[in-house]
Chains A and B, each alone.
Chain A
Amino acid sequence: MYVEYEPLWTVGGMWLITFISMYWIWEDSQIHKKRAWPWVFILMLGDPFSTYVSNHYRYEYLPSKGIYPYLVPFFRYDTSHFLEPVWVLDTFFFWSVLFSLIDNTVAFFIIYWIYNDCKKSGGRATPWISISRFIQVMPFPINYFFPLSGYTGQIFILMGYILYKLGYLRWGRHGGR
Chain B
Amino acid sequence: MFSDPVLTGLIVFSIITLYWSILGAYVLFKSGVISSKFAAILVAYSFLAWLTSRIMYMNFPEVPPHPILIISGLVESPISILTTVYIYYKTRIIRLKWIPYIALYSLFLVANRISLYLCRNLPVPEILLLPRVLSEWASLPAWFFIYVKSNRIFSIKQASIVICYQALVWFSLIFMLYYLALPYSQISALEVVMNYPITLLTLIFIDRYRLSRLEHASQ
Residue numbers of A with Cβ under 8 A of B are 5, 7-20, 22-24, 26-27, 29-30, 33, 35-37, 40-41, 44-49, 51-53, 55-56, 59-60, 70-77, 79, 83-85, 87-89, 92-93, 97, 101, 104-105, 108, 112, 115-116
Contact = CB atoms under 8 A, between A and B. Distances in A.
6 contacts: A12-B50, A13-B21, A73-B64, A84-B5, A93-B9, A108-B27
A53 to B, nearest CB: 8
A8 B54 contact: yes
A30 B189 contact: no
Contacts of B21: 12-13, 16
Given A13-B19, A15-B46, A77-B57, A23 B184 contact: no
Contacts of A85: 2-3, 5, 8
Contact of B18 (A13, A37, A40, A77): A13
Nearest to A44: B199
A72 B88 CA distance: 41
Given A16-B25, A26-B87, A30-B92, 14 more contacts: A8-B58, A11-B16, A12-B50, A13-B16, A14-B20, A37-B200, A37-B206, A41-B200, A48-B192, A60-B185, A74-B61, A79-B6, A88-B5, A92-B9
Q: For chain B, what secondary structure do more than half of its interface residues adopt (helix, strand, loop), or is it mixed? A: helix
A20 B91 contact: no
Contacts, number: 190
Contacts of A5: 6
B211 interface: yes
Q: Which 6 A-B pairs have the closest CB atoms?
A: A16-B24, A12-B50, A13-B20, A56-B185, A52-B189, A12-B17
B132 interface: no
A33 B214 contact: yes
Contacts of A55: 125, 184-185, 188-189
Given A8-B9, A74-B62, A79-B4, A19 B200 contact: no
A136 B93 CA distance: 27
